[in-house]
Chains A and B, each alone.
Chain A
Amino acid sequence: AQSVTQLDSHVSVSEGTPVLLRCNYSSSYSPSLFWYVQHPNKGLQLLLKYTSAATLVKGINGFEAEFKKSETSFHLTKPSAHMSDAAEYFCVVSASRSGGYNKLIFGAGTRLAVHP
């Protein structure tokens, strides 16, 4: 069975400082991993995805994540936070089903606050 744990429910940073959002996953076979962002009262936007290619994945808006199989982690980072990064972030795991579709399993989310 697949599961994902986001280690922090809230993260607060100052504008211009680095961002680290932590995520650990559990999967009985090779997973696909995603980070989605949700701004207040909006839908979800895909930030980046890992699908067994390069372990360091670059996404939109300067975000990146590193897949570490030995640590079962997929932490999201950004070198310098911007005010517009304030949102809810979801780490997501999936495994392709035998029918060739993804059943996404979401973490509980990390709310990122960015202070001036």
Chain B
Amino acid sequence: AQTVTQSQPEMSVQEAETVTLSCTYDTSENNYYLFWYKQPPSRQMILVIRQEAYKQQNATENRFSVNFQKAAKSFSLKISDSQLGDTAMYFCAFKGSSNTGKLIFGQGTTLQVKP
């Protein structure tokens, strides 16, 4: 069965600094998608970044980038120039070729950006 693990329940970073959130996953599939979602206190689930497994190049979206290591089944999120608005819970998620279309989520990492 596919699993997603986020081993850091809580993290903090000073404003303007860089922080990396870790995620590992387990699958026997070769083609799949990986995602990072942000959940601020408003509860809204916001897609931060998406990586397609067949693409070697790491995805980037402005201050957000990933380090995708397919062989190691690792998918970390780097947030550069952290801002107070980045304070949120972050979820790593996996989507494979299952016949349910489901997203498999990690446990989440609460990130606090300190002024």
A and B physically associate: no
Could you list which residues of chain B lie within 8 angstroms of chain A, going by C-beta atoms?
Answer: none
Could you list which residues of chain A lie within 8 angstroms of chain B, going by C-beta atoms?
Answer: none
